[in-house]
Structures are given as C-alpha cells and as structure tokens.
Amino acid sequence: MSEKRRDKRNRILHNGETQRADGRYRFTYQDTDGNTKDVYSWRLDHNDPYPKGKRKDLSLREKEKQIEQDMFHQIVSNGGNYTVLSLVEKYVSLKTGVRHNTKAGYKTVINVLKKDTFGSKRIDKVKLSDAKAWLIKLQQEDGRGYSSIHSIRGVLRPAFQMAENDDLIRKNPFQFELASVIVNDSVTRESITRKQQREYLKFVQEDKHFSRYYDGIFILFHTGLRISEFCGLTLEDIDFKEKRIRVNHQLQRTSKMEYVIEVPKTESGVRYVPMTDDVAECFQRIIKNRIAPSAEPTVDGYTGFLFLDKNNMPMVALHWEKYMQHIREKYNSIYKVPMPKVTPHVCRHTFCSNMAKSGMNPKTLQYIMGHSDISVTLNTYTHVNFEDAKDELERILS
C-alpha cells in the first residue's frame, strides 16, 4: 500500500494537491473542457496563518471548493477569459435598435473602461467589494458626478448579469444600491416661482433681441412639453379647432450632426396636449411670422417644422438651451436679484409644479406630462414649501 503524500507539516494531501519546495501549495485539475489547470496558494487550509510578506488570498482548499461548485454549475472557467471591457463590448454589440443617445452612452462607458485599469480586469476576478471600490474611485479620484456614475453602472450591471446568465461568473458584483456606496451629489432641477416666471417672460418680451423667442418660451412654460417634442412640432401638429397639440414624435440631433425623428420614450408619451387661449395665440404668431424656406427640410418623412435656424434646418434642444442661457446672463447683468438657471427642462418642471400646486388631478397631470409612471408626477408635489401648504390648507378650510 502506497504511503499517503504529506506536506511539510505532516498533513495528508488530497488527490491533485502538492507542495512545492518553496512551501507554496498547488492543486491540479481538469476543467469541463478537459484542459489541465493549476491553482496556487501559500496556505493549505483557511486556518493556516498568512506567510509574512505574502498577499492575502484564499487557501488552496477554499479554491478547490469554488472549482468544484463551478464545475457542478457548469461555470465557465476564468470567466471565459472576458475582461470587463470585452464583456461590455459584447453586451453593447447585442443591443440593436437602440436610440442614438443610448448608443452615445454606451460609447462613453467603453471609452472610460479603455482608459481605466478596471477595464482590463478579468470578470471572474471582480468581486462585490471591487465593484464598489471602483465606483467610489470614479467619484472621489476621477471627479465624476453621481449621474455620470449612475449611467456607467447602468451599463455594467446588465453586462455582468448577462455574464452570470451565460455561466461565465457565479454572481453579479454590481447588484447593489448605488446610493449606498457613493454620495448623490446631483443637483435637482428645481422649478422657478410664478413671480420669477412672470419676470423672466416680461424681460424676454420687452428685450429687442430676445423678444423673437418669447412665444416659444411662453409655450414651454405653459404646456410642459419636452424640448425634443417641442422642436419636433410641425404645422400639422397644431390643431386650433380642437385647441390641442399632437405629440407623437420628437426631433433630436446626433453628435454627428444628423437629424433624427424618434418616437416618445414610452406609449404614454404619445398624447394630445391641450392649448390655452394664450398658447394658441403664441402658435398663431409663430406660424404667421414663419418664413417658409425655398426648400422645406425633411427629417424621416416629417416636414413643416415650426422653428428653423439660420441654415433653414429645424432648431434642436441646444438652440433653445443657448438662448435661455444668454437671456439669463443678460437679465442678471441688469438686475440685482439674480434669476436662477432656466432651461427647457426647468420650464417643463415649472409647468408641472404649477399645475400640481393649483390642484390638478394627478392622473390628468400625468397624461399631459406624458409620464409613464404616476410616481414621477407625484414626485413634483415634493417641491412645495410652507407657503404652499398654508395656501392649500386655507383653500380647503375656506
């Protein structure tokens, strides 16, 4: 009977286990494809002390148990040799038919991973603590904001979930609440007050240069339209008889300066937005003053856009954002009390807040805003203050 193999501490070694002359342990095995593999550790058992100067690692027999579990669950060894970067690239390659801004987001994440050492890390080596530490590093060392990191994690989490579903890894390391790891330093876009809105619109209307944008900005403040929906409006979308605005598409311009028409984000985005008399008058002036170009621009079959730039191409979100930026800068250079930041989204948020404070039924407001989830609409009610509460109480009790 052959004598059992033992280590230098006279412990019996199992099949496949050996101890090298330098004291390091090795386990040799065959993976599911029949390939011979080796794993190493300076400790045989988890109770063994760490040798001085050696990196902390799992013991050999802990690694053996992981290998046994992986082979039982048919987990592909070494994560299929995918790195974080190559995994994300594969995930992105399978996402067909996505919006152009979604593609741009994917490209941003890939560029981040190409420049970061985390991108070259093998996916089966990424633990929960590694994922958390990397996101903390993005914020604290790289200076990235919460929303940016949220977008990055929004790609890595489903990519790693794909790897888990494909049996490349045992567990998705990005399955955790982001706010529990990094500080949410994103700035909430608050609405402006009714008084600020009146002063802002009055300034625009009376300014010789910016008055040309008054009707458009008034409409944004009084309809709650998304800026991409607003820019996509055509002559056929304005129904003066029924006093409504048809919203069934949005206009965007890609980073390559290509104009594209996209459907709203959700089915709830397709809707008719009612017009007040004041809004209808703004549209009538816009259409009356619109100078038809020699050749109407056409984007994906849509033509007759209400707002055209100096090149006779449809205006996009960036145009209106710049106009509003310049308006605010001029306003603040004249008046002592500064005007807070006003953007097309602030106009939309202000409209929603005003309607909520006025007592509009939340479901009605949800429809007008094109929100797919009532919780998005209800969150608007969080932007109330003591005066709002006081007025509401007096209205109910009076």
Contacts of 349 (CB under 8 A, 6+ apart): 189, 190, 191, 380
Is the Cβ–Cβ distance between 192 and 200 less than 8 Å?
A: yes
Known catalytic residue: 371?
yes
Beta bridge partners of 36: 30
Separation between Cα atoms, residue 185 and residue 278, nearest integer Å: 39
CB 352 within 8 A of CB 224: yes
Active site residue 345: yes
Using alpha carbons, select from 212, 184, 193 the residue that is nearest to residue 289: 212
Q: 265, 322, 326, 390: which one is catalytic?
A: 265
Angle at 299 between CA 298 and CA 301, to 5 degrees: 80
The beta strand positions in 301-394, using DSSP E, are 302-303
The tokens describing 355, both together, are 């309607």
The amino acid present at 119, given as its one-letter code, is G
φ, ψ of residue 26 in degrees (nearest 5): -135, 140
Which residue in the list 319, 328, 348, 357 is annotated as catalytic?
A: 348
Identify the active-site residue in 226, 319, 349, 357. Answer: 226
Q: Which of 146, 272, 367, 381 is catalytic?
A: 381
- Catalytic residue, from 157, 243, 345, 383: name it: 345
DSSP letter assigned to residue 117: G
Beta bridge partners of 322: none
CA distances 252 to 149, 231, 261, Å, are 24, 8, 6
Q: Give, in order, the Cα–Cα distances in Å from 361 to each of 225, 257, 390.
A: 18, 40, 19
Contacts of 169 (CB under 8 A, 6+ apart): 75, 79, 123, 124, 126, 160, 163
Active-site residue, 265 included: yes
Helix, strand and coil content of the chain, in percent to the nearest 5, comes to 50, 10, 40
Indicate if 323 belongs to the active site.
no
| Residues with catalytic roles | 226, 265, 345, 348, 371, 381
